[in-house]
Chain A
C-alpha cells in the first residue's frame, strides 16, 4: 500500500527552511536542484535518517516523531548511488535482507526474489550466489533496486541511484525502474532534469533549502524562472 508523505513547516538547520510539501499516496515525484539545494536532506527526512530541527514529517498520517522508525524503514525502499550492497553477502543474501528482517520464510522470499530479479534481467539462478564485487556497476544497481523493492515497500526513496552509471546503462535502468514502479510512492532525487522528466510525474525544484517550483512534469520546462531555464538548457532535452 502506497503511503502519503507530508512535510509540515519542516526546517533542518542550516540546510532546509520552512518546507511545506504534500506528496500523495502513489505519486512519483522528482526532487531536482543543484548540489547543496537540500534535496537529499528532504529525502532522508522521510525515513528518519535526518531529524527535523523544526516542524514535522508525517507519513501515512502518523508523525515520524511518534513512529517506530525501524518498522517504517523496513517498509520504505532506499536506493542510493553506488548501491550500498553488503560486500560480504551474496546477491541473494543482499536481496533477502528486508524479507528476513520481516520474518518471511524462505519459501516466500525465494520466489519473490526470482520474480524481482527476472524483471530486472538478472536471473537469480545465475547471479544469486555471486558477490557484489563480481558485478558491473549497472548490475550492482539492479540488485540494489531488487533489494529495495522485494518486500513491496509503501515508499521508495531514490537518491541519485543512476548517477554513477554510463548513459546507456543509465537509460536501461530508468526503463527497468519505470516498469517496476506501481503501488508505491516514489521520491526521486536527481540533478539530471531529463531523468526527472522520465521517471516522475511531478517535479519539485529546490534551491538554497527552499521549494522554488512544484509543478507537473509536463509543465516544468515552460516555467519562466531563470533557474528552470538553466536546468532545461543543461539537460539538453
Chain B
C-alpha cells in the first residue's frame, strides 16, 4: 500500500513538474510578447482564457482523439495540464511587466539600455514576484487537475482515488486524496515563500 502511494505520488509530481515546466517555458515568453503588443496581447489572453474555461475532464476528452498529442495515457494528461497552466503564467507575466513603474522604465531607456537589457535587467526582475504568483497558481491548480488525469490513464494519485471509488474503498480513496492535498499545500507554501523573497 505504502509503495503504491509513493509510486503514485512520484508520478503525480512528475506530471505536474513537467507540464508546469513546459508551461513556464512557453508562458513567460508569450506573456512578454503580449505585454509588447497591446492588441495581439489582448487577443492571445482571450485564447488562453478560453482554454481555461473548458472543464478539465472535457479538455481531456477533447484531446484524446487529437492525433500525435492525444490518446490514452500520460502524454495527453501532460498536454492538457500545459494548456491549463498557461493562463495564470501568461496573464501574470503580462500584468507584472505592465505594472513596472513607467518612470523607472523611462530612466532605463534614457540611460541607454537596449530593449533586451531593459527586459532582463529591469522589467523581468521587477515583474518576478507577480510571475512567481502565476506559477504558484498554475502549480496548485495543476496538482488538482492532475488527479482527474487518471480518468484517461494519465497515472498519478488520481488512480488511487478512482480505484477507491470503483471499489467503494474509503481507505484507497484517502490514500490518493490526502497526498494530493498535502502536495498542493506544500507547493503553495514553498512558492508563496519564493514570491515573498522576490518582493522588494
Contact = CB atoms under 8 A, between A and B. Distances in A.
A71 B111 CA distance: 9
24 contacts: A47-B110, A49-B109, A72-B112, A74-B112, A76-B110, A78-B111, A80-B103, A80-B106, A81-B103, A83-B107, A84-B101, A84-B107, A86-B104, A86-B108, A86-B122, A87-B200, A88-B126, A88-B200, A97-B111, A98-B112, A101-B111, A101-B113, A147-B111, A157-B110
A131 B200 contact: yes
Nearest to A70: B112
A88 B113 CA distance: 16
Nearest to A133: B200
A86 B113 CA distance: 13
B153 interface: no
A17 interface: no
Nearest to A98: B111
B104 A84 contact: yes
B125 interface: yes
Interface of A: 47, 49, 70-74, 76, 78, 80-88, 97-98, 101, 131, 133, 147, 157
Contacts of A78: 107, 110-111
Contacts of A131: 200
A71 B107 contact: no
Given A86-B122, A131-B200, A49 B110 contact: yes
A24 B20 CA distance: 58
Contacts of B101: 84, 87
Nearest to B126: A88
Interface residues of B, number: 18
Contact of B106 (A76, A84, A133): A84
Given A71-B112, A73-B110, A86-B108, 9 more contacts: A70-B112, A72-B112, A74-B112, A78-B111, A80-B106, A84-B108, A86-B104, A86-B122, A87-B104
Contacts of B111: 73-74, 78, 97-98, 101, 147
Interface centre among A47, A70, A80, A131 (most CB of B within 10 A): A70
A55 B117 CA distance: 30
Contacts of A147: 111
B125 A88 contact: yes
A82 B112 contact: no
Given A87-B200, A88-B126, A88-B200, A49 B112 contact: no
Contacts of B122: 86
A153 to B, nearest CB: 10
Contacts of A87: 101, 104, 126, 200
A125 to B, nearest CB: 23
Nearest to B125: A88
Contacts of B121: 86
Contacts of B117: 101
A73 to B, nearest CB: 4
Contact of B112 (A81, A101, A133): A101
A82 B105 CA distance: 12
Interface string B121-142: 1100110000000000000000
